[in-house]
Amino acid sequence: MKYLSAAVLAFIFFNVSAQQKQFPLDERGKYIYYEVVNAKSLTKDSLMDRADVFINKLYAKNIKQESKTDTSIISKGKMIIDKTLLVASHPSGEVNYNFTVEVRDGKYRFWLTDFEFIPYQRDRYGNYVATTPMGTALEKTPGKLNAGVWKDIVASAYAKTVKFAEEFKKVLETGLKEKTKKKTEAVSTKNW
């Protein structure tokens, strides 16, 4: 009996400590992913140029710039949430968010907030399309029937947000060098 209770306590302890990270709440009660990064060797202009390249070139398909000043960029974006069953996966919906970047000499900060989930369904052609143009805020708790599915959606959105943040920091730290296109010489079949 002693061993059984110790095993149960150990299981509960490890289960609680192994839970996934979640979004913190901001002062408005909305989920937010916020980060301040020191980049001592970079100037404000260099950071703005790199952030502009990231938003308007690398992620132009998923992010649309709303406004830009000399120290900040405000944009809206979306990420696709996939549902995986064994080997096959399909999109279950999209999460729309607001993305803000502010820069200074030697440091920058960025945050993603106002996450809204829009579910997908198949149309008559077999494509996955949004069921409604209105999204549901991620911080809104669903009923008991959908609690497990909603928890998976929030966890997937957090994982994709962390991946997005890592890619953004990588671009701002390293920058992107223009890939030089090699001139291809025409192959002549007449001289051999």
> What are the domain boundaries of the chain?
21-174
Lowest-pLDDT range of 4-13, 31-40, 161-170 = 4-13
- Residues for the chain: how many in total? 192
Q: Strands of 31-133 (E only): list them.
A: 32-38, 63-68, 72-85, 88-104, 107-122, 128-130
Is 37's pLDDT higher than 60? yes
SS3 25: strand
pLDDT digits (tens, 9 = 90+) for 124-169: 898 888 888 888 888 887 777 777 888 888 898 999 999 999 999 9
SS3 135: coil
Q: Which pTM does this prediction carry?
A: 0.75
Instruction: Find all residues with CB under 8 Å of 24, minimum gap 6, and list them.
Output: 31, 32, 34
pLDDT at residue 19, rounded to an integer = 55
Is 92's pLDDT higher than 70? yes
Is 21's pLDDT higher than 50? yes
Q: Residue 119 — φ and ψ, nearest 5°? A: -75, 155
Instruction: Find all residues with CB under 8 Å of 1, minimum gap 6, and list them.
Output: none
pLDDT at residue 10, rounded to an integer = 46
Q: Which CATH class is domain 21-174?
A: alpha beta
pLDDT digits (tens, 9 = 90+) for 166-176: 999 998 888 76
